[in-house]
Amino acid sequence: MWCAAILLLLALAQAPDFAAEGFKALEAKQYAVAAQQFAKAVEADPKDYAARFHLALSQSLLGKDDEAITEYKKTLELKPGLYEAEVNLGMLLVEQKQPREAIGILEAAVAQKPQEFRPNLYLADALLAAGDFAKAEQQYMAAGRLDPKSAAVELGLARSRARQDRLEEAAVNFRRAAELDQSFK
């Protein structure tokens, strides 16, 4: 019996740590290797939400957004309210032109960390893309209070106000965006 226990311990000690290898690959910006390692970690333990989150992150960094979205959703099933997964999933959904699905997820992220700029901006972008221009304007204003020098906020305000036929106000925001970021000119 002791021999079996010792053999089991030796086998466990020699088992590869896929997640650790995945983290090393992420740090080295070897995203394909990281994705492979995290996929193996998820296969070994499908309920490991951290491995699943990092698999999604690796896939996102590889431009495999559909796969990343699937894994972020599975991560949130395993660990509801995981802020980083909510923000990343919401951002990807906005980029993939699924703003209505992103809104609830980003609202949850903003509720957790209302003083964080990124989720506020992404929520505003989602609202704008979903056609809720008045709410988008309010959300851009909230984001602007967190980062008053954000050209993206000014551009979003301009777009939301223009869509509400408030063109004079929109023109002011377009000018501010151009002043803050020369690439807008």
Question: Long-range contacts for 18-27 (Cβ within 8 Å, ≥24 apart)?
Answer: 18/44, 18/51, 19/48, 19/50, 19/51, 19/54, 22/51, 22/54, 22/55, 22/58, 23/54, 25/58, 26/54, 26/57, 26/58
- What pLDDT score does 13 carry? 46
| Percent above pLDDT 70 for the chain | 90
- What pLDDT score does 4 carry? 52
Alpha-carbon distances of 131 from 103, 128, 161, rounded to whole Å: 12, 5, 12
- What pLDDT score does 15 carry? 45
pTM of the model: 0.86
pLDDT digits (tens, 9 = 90+) for 70-125: 999 999 999 999 999 999 999 999 999 999 999 999 999 999 999 999 999 999 99
- What pLDDT score does 185 carry? 56
**How crowded is the C-beta side of 174, counted as CA atoms within 13 Å?**
11
How confident is the model over 36-57, as a mean pLDDT?
A: 96
- What pLDDT score does 9 carry? 44
Q: Is the pLDDT of residue 129 over 60?
A: yes
Q: Is the pLDDT of residue 143 over 50?
A: yes
- What pLDDT score does 184 carry? 60
- What pLDDT score does 182 carry? 77
How confident is the model over 164-183, as a mean pLDDT?
A: 92
- What pLDDT score does 183 carry? 76
pLDDT digits (tens, 9 = 90+) for 154-172: 999 999 999 999 999 999 9
Q: Is the pLDDT of residue 11 over 60?
A: no
